[in-house]
């Protein structure tokens, strides 16, 4: 919020992740396939990437689904019809060293030249748009570019890592679909939702934080930055 107390992260999002995940059992390479409330708790079914599609089911007291609405619709039957109407799109992000399409006039940004990482040093973020998409290019201090929604091809030989994720966006139809979820509330039957799309504001990072704080408050869990 503008002019409200806030934190500034100066050495990477990983420091926030390390703080928030401290003491948690983190399992990577896992695909959740089904969430089923039962009288004894919530069953979570999943597959490990290296288990040849063998499905495993575990029982938990509570489950928090911090995923996009299309994933919730696929694995959580009570909201399958409602959330299948929420529009989503796939966002592609690429870490690379292809400077060919990057404007360089007056920026001091050049291939192989490290950008200063000293506190207070400006970071360069370039935006380009066409009729339907906006591309952002964030120049990292180690001379790596992180491009989201590439508008022009990136040299494959210069790609370090690429990935995609689903995000929700709301038009009038999407808001109407979202309102149909009134018969189910986050926390019913031990299942909670968190994410930028499941709050009463724009689909932004703030929504992820606020919705997660609401889950914590409902469970009586202390939020570190509210101490």
pTM, entire model: 0.74
- Give the whole-angstrom CA distance, residue 152 versus residue 126: 14
111/64 same-domain check = no
Which tens digits make up the pLDDT trace of 161-172? 999 888 887 655
Total domains, the chain = 2
User: pLDDT digit of tens for each residue in the chain (227 aa)?
Assistant: 556 667 677 777 778 888 878 888 888 889 999 999 999 999 999 998 876 778 999 999 999 999 999 999 999 999 998 888 888 888 999 999 999 888 654 455 555 555 555 655 677 889 999 998 899 999 888 888 999 999 999 999 999 999 988 888 765 555 555 555 557 889 999 999 999 888 777 777 788 888 999 999 999 998 877 77
133/195 same-domain check = no
79/117 same-domain check = no
The domain of 75 spans 13-87+172-226
Residue 210 lies inside a defined structural domain of this protein: yes
Residue 106: predicted pLDDT: 45
Residue 105: predicted pLDDT: 41
Residue 149 lies inside a defined structural domain of this protein: yes
Residue 215: predicted pLDDT: 95
Phi, psi of 215 (to 5 degrees): -65, -45
Tokens of 211: 């919705």
Residue 45: predicted pLDDT: 97
Residue 2 lies inside a defined structural domain of this protein: no
- Among residues 123, 144, 166, which one ends one of the domains? 166
Tokens of 159: 């790609």
Dmax over Cα atoms in the chain, in whole Å? 64
Residue 102 lies inside a defined structural domain of this protein: yes
Burial class from Cβ neighbours inside 10 Å (0-12, 13-18, 19+) for residue 136 reads: middle
Residue 43 lies inside a defined structural domain of this protein: yes
Tokens of 187: 């926390």
Residue 180: predicted pLDDT: 53
77/181 same-domain check = yes
Burial class from Cβ neighbours inside 10 Å (0-12, 13-18, 19+) for residue 83 reads: buried
Residue 7 lies inside a defined structural domain of this protein: no
């Amino acid at each position: 919020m503008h002019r409200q107390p806030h934190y500034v992260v100066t050495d990477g999002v990983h420091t926030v992740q390390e703080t928030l995940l401290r003491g948690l059992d983190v399992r990577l390479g896992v695909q959740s396939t089904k969430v089923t409330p039962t009288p004894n708790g919530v069953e979570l079914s999943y597959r490990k990437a290296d288990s040849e599609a063998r499905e495993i089911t575990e029982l938990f007291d509570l489950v928090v689904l911090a995923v996009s609405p299309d994933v919730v619709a696929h694995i959580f039957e009570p909201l399958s019809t409602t959330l299948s109407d929420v529009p989503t799109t796939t966002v592609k992000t690429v870490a690379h060293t292809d400077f060919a399409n990057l404007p360089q006039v007056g920026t001091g940004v050049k291939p192989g030249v490290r950008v200063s990482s000293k506190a207070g040093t400006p970071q360069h973020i370039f935006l380009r748009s066409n009729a339907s998409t906006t591309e952002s290019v964030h120049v990292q201090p180690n001379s790596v570019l992180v491009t989201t929604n590439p508008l022009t091809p990136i040299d494959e030989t210069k790609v370090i890592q690429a990935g995609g994720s689903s995000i929700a966006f709301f038009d009038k139809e999407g808001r109407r679909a979202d309102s149909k979820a009134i018969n189910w509330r986050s926390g019913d039957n031990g299942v909670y939702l968190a994410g930028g799309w499941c709050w009463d504001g724009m689909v932004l990072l703030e929504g992820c934080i606020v919705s997660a704080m609401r889950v914590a408050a409902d469970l009586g869990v202390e939020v570190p930055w509210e101490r």
